[in-house]
């Protein structure tokens, strides 16, 4: 069982060892071709930036944002004393819209299938059209992820119109009320009342998880990934054995998690669910919905007006060796890191650390969450495992196998 996707990004093989109806062992193996970035060696920056998002189709906007940010650093661009921060803000807005599309894909297309229900087919397509319109509104000349790109000042109302239409999709397809109003829910009781009163795929999912007693499913002691300082990343990625860190990253021998759940931990509703039911399935599903509902506000907060721009503070920027660039971008599934080394404006080294390697580490948050699962039937166990895998959300397809003693 799985959602295997055959492409350059490989897949995960997730094995469960079952003993007397309880999962006692978890084996996670990856066929992800982590050496793929080597194909960029010798290429010019423009060729790299044109090719990379096509190869890494999952979260392609986030990949493009990380790539151009790292390349601009390596090229000594932008000049922090003259280039407005609005470019980064506009690129981040496009990444947030991509995140919205990814969340909607899970909520509308995948969540119903996990309980044998038909998918909702309209919302994702609408948002994909809105993304293109928003991108053109910000970068009418195109190529937002090339060095030196700058957005236009928001003035004709197109961006706001797109945001309003996006809010309508969320209201009609997901929440049944304005997203900002849904975010005012404060506790588990209010959340469950909302789920009982709505027929959306999101509401049905939360209600079924609660009714089946699966709210705490997958609770794990693995903590959130802390802020990674650029000097630390540089130290890890320039080592001769850097590939070992990229394949199975840890901090001081400990695994960490980087997901929508860890991003939303500070929200009152997510905190309330965690306090009641731990870091299990209900908290993770709620966190995805909280982040999705908050994206319109994030888009409105993008200060694209040139009058609102403040210059970057050069003293705050980490000092990297000449020709080096390191970018950290919050993609839909977690923290994405790109590092580039340029020599004479050609790529001498390129490295990518994706959230999958943190979250699907052999002893990481998924492995710990799957241990101890129990079910009355093999199908029930597969369903529980699939729910948890979907909630943590790999960047690639996976196959699930179960072996019994």
E strand or H helix that includes residue 337: strand 334-343
**155: how many CB neighbours lie within 10 A of its CB?**
9
Is 37:350 a contact under the CB 8 Å cutoff? yes
What predicted TM-score, i.e. pTM, was given to this entire model? 0.93
Task: Write down the domain spans for the chain.
Answer: 11-309+323-404
Q: pLDDT tens, position by position, for the chain (405 residues)? A: 455 333 566 899 999 999 999 999 999 999 988 889 999 999 999 999 999 998 888 899 999 999 999 999 999 986 654 445 789 999 999 999 999 999 999 999 999 999 999 998 889 999 999 999 999 999 998 899 999 898 987 667 899 999 999 999 999 999 999 999 999 999 999 999 999 999 999 999 999 999 999 999 999 999 999 999 999 999 999 999 999 999 999 999 999 999 999 999 999 999 999 999 999 999 999 999 999 999 999 999 875 444 443 344 444 456 799 999 999 999 999 999 999 999 998 999 999 999 999 999 999 999 999 999 998 899 999 999 999 999 999 988 999 999 998
Tell me: domain 11-309+323-404, CATH 1.10.1660.10, correct?
no
């Amino acid at each position: 069982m799985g959602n295997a996707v055959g492409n350059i990004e490989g897949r995960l093989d997730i094995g469960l060892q079952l003993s007397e109806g309880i999962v006692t062992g978890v084996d996670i193996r990856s066929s992800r071709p982590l050496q793929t970035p080597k194909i960029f060696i010798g290429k010019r920056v423009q060729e790299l930036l044109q090719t990379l998002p096509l190869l890494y189709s999952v979260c392609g906007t986030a990949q493009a944002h990380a790539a151009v940010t790292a390349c601009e650093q390596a090229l000594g661009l932008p000049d922090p004393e003259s280039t407005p921060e609005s470019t980064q803000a506009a690129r981040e807005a496009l990444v947030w819209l991509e995140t919205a599309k990814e969340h909607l894909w899970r909520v509308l297309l995948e969540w119903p299938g996990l309980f044998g229900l038909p998918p909702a087919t309209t919302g994702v397509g609408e948002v994909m059209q809105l993304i293109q319109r928003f991108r053109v509104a910000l970068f009418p000349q195109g190529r937002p992820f090339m060095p030196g790109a700058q957005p236009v000042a928001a003035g004709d109302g197109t961006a706001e119109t797109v945001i309003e239409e996006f809010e309508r999709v969320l209201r009609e397809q997901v929440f049944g009320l304005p997203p900002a109003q849904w975010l005012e829910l404060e506790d588990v009781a209010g959340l469950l009342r909302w789920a009982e009163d709505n027929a959306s795929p999101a509401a049905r999912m939360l209600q079924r998880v609660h009714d089946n007693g699966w709210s705490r499913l997958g609770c794990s002691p693995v903590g959130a990934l802390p802020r990674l300082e650029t000097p630390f990343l540089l130290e890890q990625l320039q080592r001769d054995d850097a590939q070992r860190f990229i394949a199975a990253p840890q901090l001081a021998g400990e695994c960490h998690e980087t997901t929508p759940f860890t991003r939303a931990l500070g929200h009152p509703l997510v905190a309330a669910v965690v306090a009641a039911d731990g870091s299990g399935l209900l908290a993770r599903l709620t966190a995805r919905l909280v982040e999705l509902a908050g994206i319109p506000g994030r888009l409105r907060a993008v200060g694209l007006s040139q009058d609102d721009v403040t210059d970057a503070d050069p003293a705050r920027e980490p000092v990297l060796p000449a020709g080096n660039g390191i970018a950290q971008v919050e993609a839909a599934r977690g923290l994405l890191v790109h590092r580039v080394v340029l020599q004479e404006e050609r790529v001498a080294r390129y490295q990518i650390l994706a959230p999958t390697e943190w979250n699907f580490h052999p002893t990481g948050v998924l492995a710990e969450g799957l241990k101890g699962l129990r079910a009355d039937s093999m199908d029930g166990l597969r369903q529980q495992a699939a729910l948890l895998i979907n909630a943590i959300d790999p960047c690639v397809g996976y196959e699930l196998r179960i072996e019994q003693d």
